[in-house]
């Protein structure tokens, strides 16, 4: 949990008071099992979304991705990203 809060708090703090940012970071971390997956998803969504939108989409995606499927999703994203914007590529990769 501390690793997730270290990652997510600064993102939520950009557009919220520090108290609200901490509350959001703590609430969001309840659904995350692997921070590496969340970081990877956030980096992709952050390319075409506002920061807080990107972190929320990454949190939603992290619920469906596990360590075993990350490699497959990474390859799918790379393939779809050649012909789509990053958000559309990620949506297609997660749906595959």
How much is the mean pLDDT over the chain? Answer: 85
Q: Is the pLDDT of residue 1 over 70?
A: no
| 59 in Cβ contact with 51 (< 8 Å) | no
Segment among 22-26, 52-56, 60-64, 67-71 with least mean pLDDT: 67-71
Q: What is the largest CA-CA distance in the chain?
A: 41
What pLDDT, on a 0 to 100 scale, did the predictor assign at position 22? 93
Give the separation between CA 90 and CA 81, rounded to whole angstroms.
Answer: 8
Name the residue with higher pLDDT: 33 or 58.
58
Question: Apex CA 12: angle with CA 84 and CA 44, to 5°?
Answer: 20
Tell me the pLDDT tens digit for each residue of 6-46.
888 998 898 899 999 999 888 887 878 888 888 889 998 88
Buried b (16+ CB within 10 A) or exposed e, 71-91: eebeebbeebbeebebbebbb
């Amino acid at each position: 949990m501390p690793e997730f809060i270290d990652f997510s708090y600064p993102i939520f703090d950009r557009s919220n008071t520090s108290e609200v940012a901490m509350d959001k970071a703590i609430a969001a971390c309840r659904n995350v099992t692997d921070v590496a997956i969340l970081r990877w998803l956030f980096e992709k969504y952050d390319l075409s979304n506002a920061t807080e939108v990107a972190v929320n989409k990454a949190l939603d995606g992290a619920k469906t991705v596990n360590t075993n499927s990350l490699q497959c999703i990474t390859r799918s994203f790379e393939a779809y990203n050649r012909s789509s914007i990053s958000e559309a590529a990620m949506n297609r990769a997660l749906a595959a």
